[in-house]
Amino acid sequence: MASHSSGSDLAGLPEARFSPYTAVVEKALPKGCRLITLPVRGDERGSLIALERSTGVPFGIERVYFIFDTQTGVARGFHAHRQLRQLVATMAGGCTMILDDGERRTELRLDRRDIAVEIGPMVWHEMHDFSPDCVMTVLAEAPYDEADYIRDYSEFSDLARRG
Ligand code: TYD
């Protein structure tokens, strides 16, 4: 099952699973990124996803934010974080995410409710091609801190190269 370094986070839960999609795409992800399959609890009334450490969130959640009503043609992101880890999933619609660790650049369509992408420190990320109904949910390990952002790609690239 690919390289789920802490895939055991989900071990033992009957709902937990890594789909073939997860295994295939993960091989191509930049360093510091991985896909996490979210356990969906469904019954005849509909579906529910609960996120907590025991169901696959790889860090303590300090902040949650949502990106929605993104205007057609707008792209967002264009930064990396020095320290922050985040987990991103689209709970409606979808967008295309570019993930770049300075060496490997991967494009991923995020449009499944049950698959989240973990974005580690020093991963340049951009979001493009938002569907009008896209609601992106982001779980973050720390409070908002502008000093943690690198918003200039050449600065990011230099820092990434130096390791
Ligand atoms: P910005 O970083 O530009 O968003 P994106 O990376 O998705 O393009 O953030 C937009 C604004 O929201 C900016 O003024 C900072 C503010 N903001 C917060 O106040 N708290 C947060 O948790 C985030 C992510 C942004």
128 in contact with ligand 1, CB cutoff 6 A:
no
The HSE-up count of residue 33 (CA atoms within 13 Å, CB side) is 31
- Closest-lying ligand 1 atom to the alpha carbon of residue 143: 22
Q: Residue 148: CB partners within 8 Å, gap ≥ 6?
A: 81, 82, 83, 84, 142
Q: Which of 65, 125, 145 to mutate to test the pocket of ligand 1 (most atoms within 8 A of CB)?
A: 65
CA dist 25 and 55 (Å) reads 21
Q: Assign 11 a pLDDT band (cuts: 50, 70, 90).
A: very low
Cα 24 to middle of ligand 1, angstroms: 31
Question: In the annotation, is 79 catalytic?
Answer: yes
Using pLDDT thresholds of 50, 70 and 90, give the confidence band for residue 127.
very high
In the predicted model, what is the mean pLDDT of the chain? Answer: 87
* 40-43 vs 115-119, strand pairing mode: unpaired
Predicted confidence band of residue 4 (pLDDT cuts 50, 70, 90) = very low
For 77-125, write each residue's pLDDT tens digit.
999 999 999 999 999 999 999 999 999 999 999 999 999 999 999 999 9
Please write down the HEC assignment for all residues of 63-103. EEEEECCCCCCCCEEEEEECCCCEEEEEEECCEEEEEECCC
Domain ranges in the chain?
7-162
φ and ψ at residue 43, rounded to 5 degrees = -145, -170
pLDDT tens for each residue of 13-54: 333 344 445 555 666 899 999 999 999 998 999 999 999 988
Residue 72 pLDDT more than 70? yes
- Smallest Cα–Cα separation from 90: which of 128, 26, 135? 135
Q: Which atom of ligand 1 is nearest to 63's Cα?
A: 22
Q: What is the pLDDT of residue 21?
A: 52
- DSSP-assigned letter for residue 19: -
State which fold the 7-162 domain adopts.
Answer: Jelly Rolls (2.60.120)
Question: Residues 126-131: what's their mean pLDDT?
Answer: 97
